[in-house]
Amino acid sequence: SSAKTLLLTVPEDTEFDLREALAGVSALRGVVGYAAPKFWLAEGDERKVLGVIHITAARGADMEDLKERAVAYLRSKHMDVLVQVERDGMNRCWCKTKAG
């Protein structure tokens, strides 16, 4: 339902798959970490996961290559995810700023 989408709720088995996928993202060469992952199920397709994630790239990593590999990895897990990549130490993203 629309309320479930707004609340970003997913079934328990999908949550397990998401945790596994996030572990895989962390293991990609050049990934320092990730922040602000948000996932939801596509309307009318309970198997397709949509989302966004912010990946922090190591200082020497090719950011475009890392983004392409992350998107390909997530697609292999039946996920359509917008991936934002930023160099480690830049701290420009809203997801890394401290409120207050």
Q: pTM for the complete prediction?
A: 0.81
Instruction: Write the burial class of residue 50 (CB in 10 Å: 0-12 exposed, 13-18 middle, 19+ buried).
Output: middle
Strands 79-87 and 45-57: parallel
Listing DSSP states for 1-61 in one string gives -HHHHHHT---HHHHHHHHHHHHHHHTSTTEEEEEEEEEEEETTEEEEEEEEEEEEEPTTS
The span from the CA of 28 to the CA of 99, in Å, is 30
Q: Cα 100 from chain centroid?
A: 26
Per residue of the chain (100 residues), what is the pLDDT tens digit?
Answer: 455 555 567 888 888 999 999 999 999 999 999 998 999 988 877 678 999 999 999 999 999 999 999 999 999 999 999 999 999 876 666 565 554 4
